[in-house]
Structure 1
Amino acid sequence: MVRLAVALVVAACLAACSDKPEPYQWNLPYNIPEPVVPADNPMTKEKVALGRALFYDKALSVNVAQSCASCHKQQFAFAEATRHSTGTTGDKVERNALALVNVAYNGSLTWAHQGLEHIEQQLMIPLFNERPVELGVTGSEGIILARLSSPYYQFLFEEAFGDPEPSWDHIVKALASFVRSLVSFSSPFDHYAYGGQDDALSEQQIQGMNLFFSERMECFHCHGGVNFTQSSKHAYQQLDLRPFHNTGLYNEDGKGAYPESDQGLYTVSFNKADMGKFRAPTLRNIVVSAPYMHDGSVATLAEVIDIYAAGGRGEGITNPHKSPFIKGFSMTDEERDALIAFLQSLTDQQFLHNPDFAKPKTQTFRQND
């Protein structure tokens, strides 16, 4: 009876649905530019809705055990509170899950790949990667598509693409659209810097902000711009400036080598100068997305700051490929506390609790029919 009721509701919706998808309306402050969107995948309300459903659906994995949301949890800024992610079949993923915050503004994607500039490209990795297996789609493409041929998804695909039958092209485009919609510009810092609210930051946070943007600490050189990362593009600025950096975490052989398990940009460029280079992630919502660094090897922000103050970690301080911005600096305990307080001001509670980004309730009804 429940399945029949769902089918009747979907049939009625299909009959009433509009012929043309509705353009997506960005929820951005007036002084924040829109991100760059690929011409072959324009943002629509319907694609975002479909992508949201798919993002939370474990049917997208080979064994129906994981979804995208398994490693990208909203309460952690769509990151994961573990050093390493684990794929749906138990494979260990070497890198720490990146927070999905303002990904639409990223000029490059993943921790260390210069050729991935669009979310549609990046999504192919967790979906189809075989070493390690993440969602494990490869070899089971047809089986997974069959799972998504329910009345619920037929309605969503019809709304988004004008075709009720799921396809991998449409799945990827819908997922990319939802991920692009995950924008965060409502932190206390935003209210202070862009909203004209002088009391949005405490005196301590303002002190930390001044330190952050100082030449002494040089944080802003790698974490600058509207998204607090050099790797950014938007409607007014599309130049991606030196997004990858070696921060002096390792020096395995005294000549600059990083652990064989992950050698950064070098693994795709084969350029020795790229050994240990990783993309500087956004610092927005950084307080809730611990642990830190590409391998999740740093537990707290205080430890991160101490590493940069020392000019690296252990033998990594003498790494010949280390960024010139990681020179080290002196600071007092008061200054460290102020810097952390400023980073806390980048936390956007509205983003972390936005119901539009959460698992859709209708999906639970569909899965239990």
Structure 2
Amino acid sequence: MSRTSRWATALGLLLLVAGCGGGDDGGDETPPPPVTPSGYSWSLPKGFPTPKEFAENPMSTAKVELGRHLFYDPRMSINQSASCASCHLPARAFSDGRTTAIGTTGEVHPRNAMSLTNVVYNATFDWANPVLKTLHAQALTPMFAEFPVELGWSDHEAEILDRFRFDPKYQELFAAAYPGESTPVNADRVAKAVAAFVSTLISGNSPYDQATFQLNNSAMSAAARRGQNLFFSERMECFHCHGGFNFSQSVSHAGTPVAQEEFHNNGLYNIGGKGDYPAGNRGLWEFTQRPADMGRFRAPTLRNIELTAPYMHDGSIATLEEVVDHYARGGRLISEGPLAGDGARSPFKSELIVSFRLTAQEKLDLIAFFQSLTDWEFLCDSRFADPFGNSPRHSRCN
């Protein structure tokens, strides 16, 4: 067995015994699901830690169900033409397939809609926002954003809330989710219910998980295992930004005393040879104004990455094959036009982004490994489906 094979195997076994909340002790009995102080019982994959729960938004089954309805309801938008699910489709692992998102009024967002897979484990939210650190705070952004408009709640809050306040079904759902409250239908409670629902979108039964955490040696193909060894090798350095149980180093859960907040410049742009990124898409720099933060974005999870194209914060890379080419080069070369520059030479590029060479077979193996992170049980889970039947699941789920 090679050094990288031993390393990858050891990593999986270490995660199994390191106190991650969803694993078992190797016996025949399955341990009870972890229960948080609120009394909510999480349904977690083996090897997964218990999500962090916030006192201001305790989880409950009733709140999750309210959030599921709100997430898929187009009445959440000012013109009743879009829902949260419009940018986070279950068939695409809760991303949307567009280069960048489009709001309910047709305004184009500068960023690609991230997958909501395992979003409950994020240390920060959005692509490069160090301020948003809870899902219920993040949910208010698409509701009230004006530049661009997403759902269009600004100046229309009462109008939108009345659609739910006078709906008999929602009266029952809100009362169950917020018992004892005389006026539970408000923007804060809406955001917290949506946050509760998306917190349950936990994916962890891919072929990789079955092989690593459930010790099913036949779950991954030989090509995927070779790709896994490449991914976890020092030759490629992938795991430094996309490591751990969630294939993202930027994580927070009940077992992390300090959230791991990480942002990286991956050499996507180097406009004019000065390290600049396009206006409105400059990453962490937009908050700090520090030159070293130019182009630094959060590395998203790679789980279900096969279904979440196009890639990068601005959707500017179309396929996984092109993503591999980008990293193999050590940064993207744009030869002409207003964005021209060699990302491999960016003065702000992360030292973790190094060039490497792959044979044609190795590239296929790496793609096979990425495909082994697709969790069809998650994608087809009826708990996450549209209660109104308007957002179709993947054809494989039928």
Q: Which amino acid aligns with 2:63?
A: K
Tell me whether 1:301 sits opposite 2:320 in the alignment.
yes
Q: Which amino acid aligns with 2:240?
A: H
* Alignment partner, residue 230 of structure 1: 249
* Alignment partner, residue 292 of structure 1: 311
- Whichever structure has more helix as a proportion of its residues is 1
* Alignment partner, residue 156 of structure 1: 173
CA RMSD of aligned residues (A): 1.5
Q: 1:118 aligns with which of 134, 137, 140?
A: 134
* Alignment partner, residue 89 of structure 1: 105
C-alpha contact 2:207 2:374 (8 A) present in aligned 1: yes
C-alpha contact 2:124 2:132 (8 A) present in aligned 1: yes
Tell me whether 1:349 sits opposite 2:376 in the alignment.
yes
Q: Deviations over 1:31-83 (max 9, x none)?
A: 32111111111110000000000000111111111100011000101001110
Where structure 1 has 5 or more consecutive residues not aligned to the other structure, the ranges are: 1-21, 365-369
* Alignment partner, residue 258 of structure 1: 277
C-alpha contact 1:232 1:238 (8 A) present in aligned 2: no
Q: Deviations over 1:103-151 (max 9, x none)?
A: 1111111000111111111111101011100000000011011111111
Q: 1:59 aligns with which of 52, 75, 95?
A: 75
* Alignment partner, residue 167 of structure 1: 186
Q: 1:335 aligns with which of 345, 352, 362?
A: 362
Q: 2:208 aligns with which of 189, 200, 203?
A: 189
Deviation at 1:230, TM superposition (A): 0.7
C-alpha contact 2:46 2:204 (8 A) present in aligned 1: no
Aligned residues: 343
Aligned in 2, Cα 1:100/1:362: closer, same or farther, shift over 3 Å?
closer
Q: 2:344 aligns with which of 317, 339, 343?
A: 317
Deviation at 1:239, TM superposition (A): 3.4
C-alpha contact 1:227 1:284 (8 A) present in aligned 2: yes
Aligned in 2, Cα 1:30/1:204: closer, same or farther, shift over 3 Å?
closer
Task: Give the distance between the partners of 1:340 and 1:348, measured in 2 at CA.
Answer: 15
Tell me whether 1:77 sits opposite 2:93 in the alignment.
yes
C-alpha contact 1:275 1:321 (8 A) present in aligned 2: yes
Instruction: Give 3-state SS (helix, strand or coil) of 1:244's partner.
Output: coil
Task: Give the distance between the partners of 2:303 and 2:94, measured in 1 at CA.
Answer: 12
Superposition map of 1:239-258 within 5 A: 239-241=258-260, 243-258=262-277
Where structure 2 has 5 or more consecutive residues not aligned to the other structure, the ranges are: 1-37, 334-341, 392-398
Q: 1:101 aligns with which of 117, 123, 139?
A: 117
Q: Which amino acid aligns with 2:60?
A: T
Q: Deviations over 1:221-271 (max 9, x none)?
A: 000011000111122234344521101011112111001131111111111
Instruction: Give 3-state SS (helix, strand or coil) of 2:191's partner.
Output: helix
* Alignment partner, residue 203 of structure 1: 222
Aligned in 2, Cα 1:287/1:137: closer, same or farther, shift over 3 Å?
same
C-alpha contact 2:274 2:346 (8 A) present in aligned 1: yes
Deviation at 1:361, TM superposition (A): 4.2
* Alignment partner, residue 156 of structure 2: 140
Aligned in 2, Cα 1:362/1:83: closer, same or farther, shift over 3 Å?
closer
C-alpha contact 2:90 2:385 (8 A) present in aligned 1: yes
C-alpha contact 1:230 1:240 (8 A) present in aligned 2: no
* Alignment partner, residue 13 of structure 2: none
Task: Give the distance between the partners of 1:178 and 1:193, measured in 2 at CA.
Answer: 27
Instruction: Give 3-state SS (helix, strand or coil) of 1:136's partner.
Output: coil
* Alignment partner, residue 16 of structure 1: none
C-alpha contact 1:53 1:363 (8 A) present in aligned 2: no
Aligned in 2, Cα 1:284/1:182: closer, same or farther, shift over 3 Å?
same
C-alpha contact 2:237 2:354 (8 A) present in aligned 1: no
Q: Which amino acid aligns with 2:270?
A: N
